[in-house]
């Protein structure tokens, strides 16, 4: 895939009368056959670093050691593309979606299939493609295409937040105010970033970066090392440098829950919670899905959640129905016509609820 240079020497005739001078030409050529020998489609869970061993079958026979190069654009004979040796790319201190464990592919005579170990972590819901170019100056070169997609069919582990018991002194038909804690930080995202960033570090650097990566000084150092890079790999995680994020809120059953249509978190790296005020109809609530969608395409965050509140309204009404004959009988015996009314109005409804939230980072 690299330019090949050659020297052409023409020796002139020394026989009379057809004398000719000697000439020398320097030739340089590029390969025009840039076809992909194999394609792989990999699906991995969002924010979950996954170890994968890729089986690679070289189109050439015999044992050889191929140097691995990586390109983010499809190789073309008409368009100049940039391919970088993986041994150089792996030294850059930036988190990335794909990390190869070895800079070379070793092929033996005993097996036509070689194993290429790697670690993959999707930091956004976008799909990305890589072209791995295996180069050998004597045997030859070949290309494989690697497409990485997040596995969106699997639901992330729900984050359960318990709401303390509430005392409802009025009818259950009234709207009840409630504050639900929403974590400011996406812990799964930062765990994935920390895991992929650690693979680029030397053992002596682990302690510093694992302590300061998600702090202001750590992120400023990453920005400085990144420089003016505009590669798609760097664009994928540039959103982590922003401290404020705004969400658009969507509720599947707006008749059961009322809350603001926009929510802003001023510090997404804070270890605290943002308390979101809302009004809940305890008489109708069963299971409501709340979706918070980031309004920027560059850093789109979807925070899906389910709010499940057990108000015990049905149980209270059933108990009231059972107590009605007893109250009437006591009223006849003691000649107190208002006993049933006083008994029912003195009952204070006790509502116990819980909320379930399912958090997921959509970083495009």
Q: What's the mean per-residue pLDDT of the chain?
A: 72
Mean pLDDT of 69-74: 86
Whether residue 300 is predicted with pLDDT greater than 70 in this model: the reply is no
Which domains are delineated in the chain?
Answer: 4-151 (2.60.40.10), 159-188+229-311+349-357 (2.60.40)
Q: Band of the pLDDT at 155, cuts 50, 70, 90?
A: low
Where do the DSSP E strands lie in the chain? 4-10, 23-29, 36-45, 50-56, 64-71, 84-85, 98-100, 104-107, 114-120, 128-135, 142-151, 159-168, 175-183, 245-251, 257-259, 262-265, 273-281, 288-294, 302-310, 349-357
Q: What is the pLDDT of residue 95?
A: 83
Average pLDDT over residues 23-42: 82
Give the predicted TM-score (pTM) of the model. Answer: 0.65
């Amino acid at each position: 895939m690299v330019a090949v240079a050659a020297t052409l020497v023409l020796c002139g005739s020394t026989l009379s009368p057809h004398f000719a001078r000697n000439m020398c030409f320097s030739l340089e050529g590029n390969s025009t056959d840039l076809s992909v020998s194999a394609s792989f489609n990999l699906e991995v869970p969002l924010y979950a670093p996954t170890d994968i061993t890729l089986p690679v079958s070289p189109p050439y026979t015999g044992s050889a050691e191929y140097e691995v190069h990586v390109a983010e654009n499809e190789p073309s004979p008409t368009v100049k593309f940039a391919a970088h040796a993986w041994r150089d790319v792996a030294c850059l201190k930036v988190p990335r979606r794909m990390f190869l464990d070895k800079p070379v592919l070793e092929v033996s005579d005993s097996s036509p299939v070689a194993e290429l170990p790697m670690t993959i972590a999707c930091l956004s819901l976008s799909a990305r493609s890589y072209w791995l170019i295996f180069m050998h100056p004597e045997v030859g070169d070949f290309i494989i295409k690697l497409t990485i997609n997040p596995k969106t069919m699997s639901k992330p582990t729900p984050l359960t937040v318990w709401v303390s018991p509430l005392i409802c002194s009025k009818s259950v038909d009234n709207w009840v105010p409630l504050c639900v804690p929403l974590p400011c930080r996406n812990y799964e995202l930062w765990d994935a970033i920390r895991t992929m960033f650690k693979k680029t570090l030397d053992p002596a650097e682990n302690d510093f970066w694992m302590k300061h990566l998600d702090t202001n000084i750590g992120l400023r150092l990453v920005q400085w090392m990144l420089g003016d890079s505009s590669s798609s790999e760097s664009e994928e995680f540039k959103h982590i440098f922003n401290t404020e994020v705004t969400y658009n809120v969507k509720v599947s059953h707006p008749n059961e829950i009322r809350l603001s249509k926009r929510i802003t978190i001023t510090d997404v790296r804070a270890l605290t919670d943002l308390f979101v005020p809302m009004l809940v109809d305890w008489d109708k609530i069963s299971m409501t899905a709340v979706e918070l969608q980031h309004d920027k395409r560059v850093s789109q965050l979807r925070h899906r959640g389910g709010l499940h509140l057990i108000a015990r309204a049905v149980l209270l009404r059933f108990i009231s129905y059972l107590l009605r004959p007893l109250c009437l009988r006591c009223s006849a015996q003691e000649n107190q016509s208002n006993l049933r009314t006083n008994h029912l109005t003195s009952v204070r409804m006790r509502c116990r609820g819980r909320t379930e939230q399912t958090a997921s980072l959509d970083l495009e």
